[in-house]
Structure 1
């Protein structure tokens, strides 16, 4: 029979909930969710509008049906110059380096202009990154700005910053629950400390979700929240799906972990000579997208950007890509992802989800392995490996799979666990046994 929490923890929790300071923290978190969600809505809407202008509207104005193969080269060159100036000249160095993960530390309000400008220079112009990390930094900084108290305790600053990040990230995930789970799992807390973080994050995320949902319907603006309008219909996973799916999850981890590690080394090099190195890396990202277009005859936009829109297309029409085109997409976009993580500004999650799915979809011709299991494996394995948060990856994959999530959930869980375990083993150096030990 399951037992409840120890009496000491229960007493601590009751004392915490009755405390005036915690009630004030909840109130501030709820109130901060309103401006945070509105600013996050504006940021994502602007980023989406700029991306549409660069990759759709402007080519059409020039008489093109889509961006030509060379289009990413000037776009990424401009993005690299603007991002490099924002990183090198403004406080905060443009925010967290995506090769180092999401970045969950409280963001100083003084760093917000540099973070926003670096992200708007990177994301719409073709960086293979998502908006989640800048959004979290924006939410954290705005929440702290709402308090404007220098004597705020460090613990309260961290919790309030996390609540602001949860409210902001809910905009792009479209669900405050995903944001809450992600931040809680990343923080790695338990017991009464879990409630200290959980309640403000969920409250701020819920208020923020209410505000930006209502504001979005009233304004008619498209924020481009992560969703898959159509997913492949298929039967519940069979034995064959697991026989293919588990090795595929391991393969995705074996590809993703070296990519992230290489991006980390690149980030260290870029740190030494920020402006020229950032511009060079951004131009190389454009070169990867251009080579993909030349090699496959498809749009260069598929190999640039976060992959959010292309992920929806891939889920809806997986057979529209040949196996060769999908493998080329994984190779060129994967290379651009490494370069972007090491030099530009954004988040690593969206491209990881896309690349995992693209690699999985390239193998749907295997006997007994269809598009629906491939989508489940790709989302779960890509998210678990890069996030290093298996529960968050499972929740996110479940959200994206929508009504088919219940059928695919066993495969999602097994794939996430297999990919996470493989990734952690690859990241852990094997202890070398000395000669003296081998002689014994």
Structure 2
């Protein structure tokens, strides 16, 4: 499930053409950000229509427990059709992680159908993987017309620059895009030197254009962020709880992934059937959670981005029983979505880590904000095999609390990453055999 960057992207370009490559990378950030804005705006509108506007028009307040079922059934049918019948299989399976390697433009119809047919209808995945595909494919399309010849290292760099611009859009800034690309390229064994500057420039331009489009149109399209947390300070007990908490959360995330991996062979043989089954299981989990806790089934479905904002703003609003039920139900739905549906793995994992952190915040001496930070850091590091990117992402999310929470974030990332590597060894050895 590593992040892959094509070897061609890491090869050096001729020195004389590097300035032109930088210029093209900066220009690529503009159409990529426009495409990303249009995608996120449509995704936001569809999600709001299904889960807010239509129920309100029908007088369904609060949302009934059965509401997710028809939508998730439709999501399974649409995603299954894209995976079985369209080039690229609707995008790569979320269990494979994220890749900055550009998707061929021919994959775009399947990626868009699977994303728009699954994510707003309740798939427990995020928009980051489809956005990466949109960014890379858009850049490759432009490179075919005005840029370097297809298949050259320069064309590969432009494709990765498009992916970087998409990362900047969805994660809220070019810094995480630069770190993500640098670490992903370095982990692939390619040389990152020539890749980073074009990606950083494209990400910066893309983030700027995306922000301008939001201000100009007034559409409520936002990147991943947390509302302001209460100011907090670290104490010795927070540091002592960080290690076991991070190890336990990483173990839980890996168990979710293990369940997903066991379903992959069936998903490869019968993609449509398992996609429909994933939708129905998710609907059952959402309904069971709503009936057991009296809370909205929306907290189980979708990526968890909006629920994460509510959780960070009012952690005391979720009782221990509701948190346990939420982690169990959303964890099962997440595993099914990872195996059979299409989208990004980070957002739901981040939310589950935050929920586990809030639950562990009831431990003696463990503050609510440090526990939340540890949970998000541990879950992200267990999902991404890129510890620096995980640490930077969570640090940026914490905003004003980033500096005081940095020690527990870094410790949690290291512990969770090491725990994940140990737990991955048997599966890696089995796959190699």
TM-score scaled to structure 2, two decimals?
0.93
Decide whether aligned partners of structure 1 residues 186 and 192 sit closer, same or farther in structure 2, where only a CA change above 3 A counts.
closer
Pair 1:252 & 2:254 matched? no
Rg (Cα) greater in structure: 1
Decide whether aligned partners of structure 1 residues 301 and 430 sit closer, same or farther in structure 2, where only a CA change above 3 A counts.
closer
Match of 1:389 in 2: 386
Structure 1: unaligned runs, 5 residues or longer: 1-15, 433-440
CA distance in 2: counterparts of 1:277 and 1:335, whole angstroms: 14
Report SS of the residue matched to 2:191: helix
CA distance in 2: counterparts of 1:79 and 1:178, whole angstroms: 31
Residues 124 and 334 of structure 2 are in contact (CA less than 8 Å); yes or no, is this contact kept in structure 1? yes
Pair 1:280 & 2:277 matched? yes
> 1:158: how far off?
2.7
Moved over 4 A (4+): 189-192
Pair 1:71 & 2:77 matched? no
Match of 2:15 in 1: 19
Residues 226 and 309 of structure 2 are in contact (CA less than 8 Å); yes or no, is this contact kept in structure 1? yes
Match of 2:208 in 1: 210
Counterpart selection for 2:405 from 404, 408, 427: 408
Match of 2:55 in 1: 59
Structure 2: unaligned runs, 5 residues or longer: 1-11
> 1:112: how far off?
0.6
Counterpart selection for 2:30 from 24, 29, 34: 34
TM-score scaled to structure 1, two decimals?
0.91
Number of aligned residue pairs: give it. 418
Counterpart selection for 2:163 from 148, 153, 165: 165
Residues 282 and 343 of structure 1 are in contact (CA less than 8 Å); yes or no, is this contact kept in structure 2? no
> 1:413: how far off?
0.4
Match of 1:362 in 2: 359
Counterpart selection for 1:199 from 178, 197, 200: 197
Residues 357 and 376 of structure 2 are in contact (CA less than 8 Å); yes or no, is this contact kept in structure 1? no
Report SS of the residue matched to 2:426: coil
Alignment of 1:56-135 (within 5 A): 56-135=52-131
Alignment of 1:238-387 (within 5 A): 238-387=235-384
CA distance in 1: counterparts of 2:13 and 2:170, whole angstroms: 31
Decide whether aligned partners of structure 1 residues 259 and 27 sit closer, same or farther in structure 2, where only a CA change above 3 A counts.
same
CA distance in 2: counterparts of 1:281 and 1:193, whole angstroms: 39
1:56-105 deviation digits (Å, cap 9, x = unpaired) = 11111110224211111111001111111222222111011101111332
Report SS of the residue matched to 1:243: helix
> 1:404: how far off?
0.8
Decide whether aligned partners of structure 1 residues 189 and 383 sit closer, same or farther in structure 2, where only a CA change above 3 A counts.
closer
> 1:190: how far off?
9.9
CA distance in 2: counterparts of 1:233 and 1:291, whole angstroms: 36
C-alpha RMSD of matched pairs (Å):
2.1
1:90-148 deviation digits (Å, cap 9, x = unpaired) = 21110111011113322110111110110011110011100000000110000000011
